[in-house]
Homo-oligomer: A and B are copies of this chain.
């Protein structure tokens, strides 16, 4: 009998990196280690300096990524006792778009003494939101020139994305732009550090750098119109050679072997994105089953056989999630954040006291109390726009609404209404997919929220009328990356030849699922119709009061 084989997935998050060592045959998660980034999210001062960042800036330190390799991989090897010879592959996933300027040998500009004090030399984290003027220019120019690719992104390129951040560097620090031999996703950069080869992945290219398998990047004419200095940016500082996810990027270098304790030559997968790598880890490798990554916000992903334009949906990328399918993606910007806001800002002391007495956290107590209510019993209805609307309306200027309050309204009723509102928001997204020929028959959740809140799961099942399942793993992205590591190694080395095969063996769901309860569905059907009426009224121009209030607010603030 041959020895058991293992793969390691490394998930680079916002505040920390995590490695999971997984048994290839079964998907069993044998060991986990987390490294909290030394410099975390850099949003006040550049590390070790008094150089203050502007508001909306968010940077990271690439040395934290290397430290993640050095700390977590040896730790999982040690705690599991697994022989490095039995680790056949490594995969990584990253936040996106998280991008950085580097020299041609991969040296990050921020590690060079002469550039270290320039904020633009550092990694721009996904939530760096200071490139809005650049995004506006990108969109306006694309509309002027009738660029067809704009429709693939719901008609709008975000300030978070690759060219917005690139253009900001060019606008504000042309010397950094000039010094950068390469502009690269951090995802691809860490893979480069592991295997010594710059190989760019199709997932981030498609999702954040306006690339598609069929059409490639935007044309040089468009880029030149944006800024003459950008005309050749793709050939000069990026690459037109894009590798599909699921491919092998290369083999671990001796240096990376030293960092990690793994053997030189271990297979390294093409980089991937945290949300996307979670899809096969949630057992989904076919159309019809929507994966929802639920945390502070929710990311919805579903596969389609064909290409469809779904209005107001964030985007879709061919082969972007699972090779052979179009990967569609949508999002709700305020889910866990919604409940956290409520718990922090609107729950009176009696509930805090009761939670302490019952040794529950306040969310648990409110969930318990809210679970006593029947659907519709609160008389409340909310629009879940506390943080704008990301999908179908794509409008950050929409705001939250609560309707139906009486003098008898209590905190658990509002808590439940907010959960219900996020469920209606998901239902709107599902309806948009289905109306545009992207079927959604079942939901699979991963992320922190579903773990913790069964009431929420049941409400989502009842509101959407669909069975709602939960991944067995609590660290789905890292598991997904390990699966891609096993695919990079390939069947001959003891891994798999495709991610579909890997998912069949390594991904699992919990046995407990949430099925719609017919009586609840009926009530929620009535309430959902009310939600949709308000959604359209406030979201589609009939009454733009929310935007006008924002304008009144900014006028009030600007009068000093």
Contacts and interface: CB of A to CB of B under 8 A. Distances in A.
Interface of A: 334, 337-338, 341, 344-349, 352, 374-381, 386-387, 399-407, 409-411, 414, 519, 523, 526-527, 530, 533-534, 537-538, 543, 545-546, 548-550, 552-553, 555-557, 559
A555 B405 contact: no
B387 A399 contact: no
Nearest to A545: B530
Nearest to A544: B530
Number of copies of this chain that the complex holds: 2
Contact of A352 (B349, B387, B534, B555): B349
Contact of A375 (B341, B349, B526, B556): B556
A345 B376 CA distance: 20
A6 to B, nearest CB: 41
Contacts of A378: 553
A465 to B, nearest CB: 17
Contacts of A552: 376, 379, 523, 526-527
A545 B534 contact: yes
A379 to B, nearest CB: 4
Contacts of A376: 549, 552-553, 555-556
Contacts of A352: 348-349
Residue of A346, A409, A530, A533 ringed by the most chain B CB atoms within 10 A: A346
A414 to B, nearest CB: 8
Given A345-B348, A346-B411, A400-B403, 10 more contacts: A346-B348, A347-B348, A377-B557, A379-B549, A386-B405, A400-B406, A402-B403, A403-B545, A523-B556, A527-B549
Contacts of A523: 552, 555-556
Nearest to A534: B545
Nearest to A377: B556
Contacts of A407: 334, 337-338, 341, 386-387
Nearest to A399: B404
Nearest to A410: B345
